[in-house]
Structure formats: C-alpha cells, structure tokens
Amino acid sequence: MKLFRTVAGILLIAALSKGLWDIGWTAAYEWHRPYVSDNVLFIAMGRAIVNGLTPYVDLFENKPPGMFVIAAVSLYFFDSSILGRLLQILAIVLIPVCTLFGGFFLNTNKQQPRERYLFLSWSFLFGVMLAVITSKWAGGFYPESFGILFSLLYVMWFLRMRHRTVTWKMQLLGGLCIAFALGFKEVFLLCFLAIALLLSLNRKEFLQKFCIPLIFALLIGTMLLLVFGYLWPYLTTYIPYLLLWHGDMMSLLNPEKTPLWQTGFPTLSLGKHLLHIAFPLPFFLLFLCIAALFHGFASKEGRRSFRVSALVLAMYLATMSGQMAGGKPHHLAVMFPFFFALFLLVSQSSLWQSAWLKPVMTFFLCAIVFLQNNQFAQADFIEERQRISLAEEVAAQIDFIMDSCDIDRYLRLIVTPIPELAFIHHSPLPTGLISTRDYNNMAIPPLNKMLSQALLDASIVLATPGFDVHGHVHRYLQEHFTLTPWPCAQHLFHLPGHLSLLFRNDRGA
C-alpha cells in the first residue's frame, strides 16, 4: 500500500506539472493564433456596431450579441481584436481555476489531508483537460469558450450555496452566470438544466438554484438587450430564424432531417472527436456516467427512482446541448461543464469509500493529461498566417475604393477562405456574413427579404467572377452591374483571382 501511494504521488506530481505546461502552451498559442474562421464574422459584427449599425437587421449573424459586444469594444478602443484575444486567453486559463475552487468547496468531507490533496489534484487535472479541449475545439475567439467559463462559475456557485442560506441576492448572482453564458450561446440553457438536475438534492434546491436564477437571467438579458437597443431585432428577427430555419433546428419543419429529440442520444462522431483529444477520454466520461448511475441505484428506496430518472434526463439534455446545433467540435464543447458536475457528483458520492475509485480516477485523469493532444500543425499555422496577410491587402484595397467613391456599404456575395472581414472598415449590407448556400436557398424568408432589399441598395458588389449564386440574384447582377470600374475607382487594384468587384451600371462618379 505504501508503495502504491508513493507511485500514485509521483504520477500526480508529474501530471500536475504537465498540466501547468499545457496551460502555458495553450495560452501562448491563443495569443498567436490566426483568426480565419467564424471568429471573423464576430469581428465584422463588432465593426458594424462601431459603425453605428444594429445587429440582426442592419447586418445579420446567427449568434447572440455577447461576442459582438466584446469585438466592438476591442475595435473601438484598440482598432483590433486584441482585447477579445486577451479575454479569450483569460477565459481558458480560468477554467482550471474554477474547477479547482469547485473541488475546494466540496472538500469538507475528506477527513485526511492526503484525501483532500488527492481530490484537489483531480479537480485541477480535470480543469486542465477542459482548458485544452476548449482551446482545441472552441478557442480562437469562439462563444463556447466564454459560455463554458460562466457555466463553471455556475457550478461553483451552486456548490457554494449548498450549506448557506440562498437569499435573493445569491440567486441574482447565479442568474448573472446563466445570463452571461446565454449571451454567448443560448444552447447553454440545456447544459444549465442538466447541471441543476444532476446536483440538486431535492425539488426545493432545484427551484432555488435553477428556476429562480433563470428568471433573474431572463430579466437581466432583457434589460441588457433593451439598453443596447437590440431587444426588438433579437425577438423579431433572430429568434424566429434560430427556431425555424437555422441548422438542425430545421428538423422542426423538415421531416427529412434527423428529428431534434434524437440529438440527445450519444453518437459515434462524439466518441471520435473525443478520441482525437486523448484516447482514454471517451472511456473516462463513460466511466463517470456509469458510476453516477450506479450511485443513483444505490440511493435509498424512496429516492432511487427520482435520482436515476434525474440522472438519465440530465445526461440526455447535456448530450442534446452539444449536438443540436450540428455536432461539430465547438458545439460539443458545450457539454463539458456538465461532465465536470458529473465528476464532482461521483467524487462526492458513497463511491469515495470504494477501494477501486481512487486508483481508477487517478489513472484516467493522469493518462488523459499525459496523452492529450494540444499541438497544432505548423503547416496549417503558416498557411493561415499567409491568408491573414492577403486579407489585410484585400481589405485595404476595398476600403480605399469605397472611400474614393464615397460609398458607405457594399454587397458581399462570397464565401472566401481569405478573412478580409476581420480588417475591412466598411460594413457589408445585411446579408454580407451569410454563406453562398444560404443565398441559394431563397426559401428562407428573412434572408430572402434582406437580400432583395440589399440588391436594390447596393452600388458595389464583392463577388466571385462567375457570380456564384443562382436564380434571380444572378440575373439581377448581370443586368445591373458591370466589371468596368467607375471613374473614381479606375486606379489599379489587384484582388485575388477568386474575387471581383462589380459596379452598378447607372452610377458614374
């Protein structure tokens, strides 16, 4: 036994050292990471706010306004995304801090110092695992990373209130955690519900720590949207799009798609994504689920059915929260605050006294931290840097032409691998952030209406040489626009081969 404790202690110290290295490496990577994906759209929305435009009506993007506001503040004060980058790093670095404090708040039933240190080590290693996954899947200025932080803060708050009087001020604090997470992505609501079902000891605790804080969160969110002037567009434009036409939510109307309720069941793709992080990871999460169910079945006779039902429903809702938006890695990251709550539940259960729990948990967490993949492909990094450099040149040329011709906004009809939106100072017309496939799907009423008006308002169009849109949009461009520049734009400009600037026929300057 003494030999085992010595080996386990050395293993934990090595894993903790590796975890600290991983956190430092992840922070350094986030500082230098190029923004070339959906994060560019959030920066463009921030620029639109700085330009005095209103999200969802003046420029449409299918996310709540949290990321837009951060980008806008960063652009307003620094004319770059540096503040968003710093906040992204802070959010990831704080993840293991949150899990460590979450473990500390539940550390009271560990009588021996050795047991307390072991549990705190587990909590920190779990946080390191979450931080690396968050960076890999939802770093680089993505909303899920911020939502994960506020979800973990909610878990900390939930546990901290367990042996305290839950006053309305404390419920307001819990509501703030929920409100801020939902302000980055609404699907976190399912994750909060799953966490509350998992951790609540009774119906009263569920009411006090989820239902009432949720009401506070909705009030806070409504007030903030009202103050920023986004409430009406959010309710009348964004929410209908989100519920009726966005992504897998179209399954509510389209019977050919997978029914929404089926997204609550685990899939092979979820396991494959987890395997890419660390081979033991999916097996560890499966172990937590089985151990939690075992703990539920071991409850007293009167509470057994309630606990098992709550556990199964919580697991279902957590899985749905990660897969209902499409099941991509950054979507799946929404699930991980729930898994931390599940880890705490298993660690604090009667299973703690079992001879097998401590070595199994130690083995899994150390193995994951030792094996987790936090590297990136150097070739991809270099390629993304080259795309950034070209994007800056394209943005500068477009801005110069727009200023020379006294045009404030342009129509953007492209999906380009060059993220010029991150650097251009002029905002596109309302549909400028929407992909080509959406332009070609004119069955979506809000986009159809926005695009029809944008075609009438546009004087300059950024498009592909072949006008990669079909139907009346393609015909309208052929009839009313030309590649011949206006006199004000007849200076030399060299756009990449996949981009073209079109000028309205009936305008000369």
| 441 conformational bin, left if phi > 0, alpha if psi -120 to 50, beta if neither | beta
Within 8 A by CB and 6+ apart from 299, the residues are 307, 308
Q: Quick one: DSSP state of residue 211?
A: I
Query: Is residue 63 assigned to a domain?
Result: no
Query: Is residue 39 assigned to a domain?
Result: no
**Are 16 and 147 within one domain?**
yes
**Are 7 and 153 within one domain?**
yes
Contact 355, 368 (CB under 8 A): no
Query: Is residue 267 assigned to a domain?
Result: yes
Tell me the CA distances in angstroms from 75 to 71, 104, 266, 378, one per residue in order. 6, 38, 40, 29
Domain with 460 in it: 378-504
Query: To which residue do tokens 């029809």 refer?
Result: 452
Structure tokens at 152: 């973990």
Query: Is residue 234 assigned to a domain?
Result: yes
**Are 217 and 159 within one domain?**
yes
In this predicted structure, what is the pLDDT of residue 38?
Answer: 87
Look at residues 371, 389, 416 and tell me which one is the last residue of a structural domain.
371
Taking alpha carbons only, the member of 282, 284, 257 closest to residue 270 is 282
Q: Quick one: DSSP state of residue 420?
A: G
Query: Is residue 26 assigned to a domain?
Result: yes
**Are 413 and 429 within one domain?**
yes
Question: 493-496: long-range contacts at Cβ-Cβ below 8 A with a sequence spacing of 24 or more?
Answer: 493/397, 493/400, 493/401, 494/397, 495/394, 495/397, 496/390, 496/394, 496/418
In this predicted structure, what is the pLDDT of residue 49?
Answer: 97
- Below-70 pLDDT ranges, the chain: 1, 3-4, 107-111, 246-259, 261, 298-302, 377-379, 435-444, 466-470, 492, 507-509
Look at residues 341, 371, 401 and tell me which one is the last residue of a structural domain.
371
Query: Is residue 419 assigned to a domain?
Result: yes
**Are 323 and 404 within one domain?**
no
Query: Is residue 272 assigned to a domain?
Result: yes
Cα(308)–Cα(310) distance, rounded to whole angstroms?
5
Sign of the alpha-carbon torsion through 136, 138, 142, 145:
negative
In this predicted structure, what is the pLDDT of residue 509?
Answer: 44
Cα(192)–Cα(144) distance, rounded to whole angstroms?
14
Look at residues 354, 371, 388 and tell me which one is the last residue of a structural domain.
371
- Three-state DSSP at 460 gives strand
**Are 417 and 308 within one domain?**
no
Q: What is the pLDDT of residues 238-278, one digit of tens each?
A: 888 887 776 544 444 444 456 676 777 777 778 888 888 88
Query: Is residue 56 assigned to a domain?
Result: no
**Are 298 and 405 within one domain?**
no
**Are 339 and 457 within one domain?**
no
**Are 411 and 484 within one domain?**
yes
- Would you give the end-to-end CA distance of the chain in angstroms? 86
**Are 321 and 447 within one domain?**
no
> How many C-beta atoms surround the C-beta of residue 383 within 10 A?
14
Q: What is the pLDDT of residues 194-206, one digit of tens each?
A: 999 999 888 899 9
| Counted domains in the chain | 2
**Are 405 and 429 within one domain?**
yes
- Cα 314 to its chain centre, rounded Å, is 20
**Are 168 and 145 within one domain?**
yes
Taking alpha carbons only, the member of 449, 447, 480, 448 closest to residue 463 is 480
In this predicted structure, what is the pLDDT of residue 274?
Answer: 85
